[in-house]
Amino acid sequence: MKSRNLSRILALVLMLALVFSLAACSSSAPAAEAPAAEAPAAEAPAAEAPTTAFPEKPINFYVAAGAGGAMDVSLRVLIPYLEDELGVDVAINNISGAGGWVCYADVLNKPADGYTITSYANSNFFGLYNPTSQIEGDINDWEFLANAVTDANALYTNKDSEVQTLEQFIDYVTNNTDVLIGTTSIGFDDHTAYVKLASAIPGMLENTTALPASNVTEVVTNQLGGFQDFMVANVGDYNTVKDNLNIICIFAEERSPLVPDVPTFNELAAELGLDADVTASTHRGYLIRSGVDAEVKEVLVNAFEKAMANPEYLAELNELFFVPNCLVGDDAQQMIMDDLKAFESIVPLLVEEQQADND
């Protein structure tokens, strides 16, 4: 009897122990699975979709130059590729005058909504740093979207001229007076290149005078008509004048792929023992007025970057004698700011040159 009761007690104890053991296992199980509860945190880096729906209507592009010029032509090549990236039409409007500032004044009066874009050449902003200029403005009114093309300046001579080399040019301008050299408007890229060149060659500033014209077509007309001795223009202009004019040298760090046989001024100067460094180029690109929403600006920058990387666009640029230099956003803006800083350093030379002309 006692042994039977003892057996029952032992069985009861064993059953209770089993129950407590199972309870302990079930209560500790969630602790083993706890790390799995953190899995959703892995999705945190996913960026939120942009809240700005842009663009929703056509974009207006204001070219700060007349139709048919280098700025206008290089933009019209880009427009179809830009439209593909943005998914809307882009209308071109040309507004010339006052070195681009008639156009800029108009753009600054339009809403800062991203639907108004304009063009630039670095020389459009030179007047802001030139005390002899009548241009009023502020570089901080603008944000740069992209730079598309960089076009080096070059020294041109007539094919039938006795002067075809830099050595002959130096001899000519140092031994003759009243030498006329055609450029575009005073203080712009071609004229600035002339001032750098004249300051690098002893006696040239005193013996030569810049003959400014409103555009490169007039400069070429004056050259072919015999109204000036030489001219400074862009390498990109050579394609339209190569039957009548030759390039003596280009003002760049390296030779241009467009005219690889033409030396740079710096390499020729070194051969002649001339201690001089002359570089000058036109940068052409696109910008918006300040104050545009950051997301909208990002959409535009990305569209320009993709459009300018299109192989078909690059091939068209090459056919038109343009050298691509595709930079976007902050990179484009920094290049222009560096260029303007370099321009500031030669402002005293510009003032000296203009005083010499007035005397």
**Residue 154, strand partner residues:** 233, 250
Print the domain residue range for 120.
Answer: 59-151+282-346
Maximum mean pLDDT: which of 22-31, 35-44, 315-324? 315-324
Domain harbouring 210, CATH code? 3.40.190.10
Q: Higher confidence at residue 45 or residue 161? A: 161
| 212's tokens | 């400014």
Residues 272, 162 share a domain: yes
CATH code assigned at 338? 3.40.190.150
Asked if the structure places residue 35 within a domain, the reply is no
User: Is the link from the previous residue into 55 a cis peptide, with omega within 30 of 0?
Assistant: yes
Residue 100: Cβ within 10 Å count: 26
Report how far residue 334's alpha carbon sits from residue 64's, in angstroms, rounded to the nearest whole number: 21
User: Is residue 42 in some structural domain?
Assistant: no
Residue 198 and residue 262 in one domain:
yes
Whether the predicted pLDDT of 180 surpasses 90 = yes
Residues 277 and 315 both lie in one domain: no
Average pLDDT, the chain: 86
149's tokens:
């093309």
- Looking at the fold, whether 209 and 107 belong to one and the same domain comes out as no
- pLDDT above 90 for 90: yes
Q: 289 CB contacts (<8 Å, ≥6 apart)?
A: 107, 108, 110, 112, 116, 141, 142, 143
Q: Of the given ranges (71-75, 130-134, 329-333), which has the lowest mean pLDDT?
A: 130-134
Residue 317 has a pLDDT of 95
**Number of structural domains in the chain:** 2
The answer to whether residue 250 is domain-embedded is: yes
260 in a structural domain: yes
Same domain, 144 and 286: yes
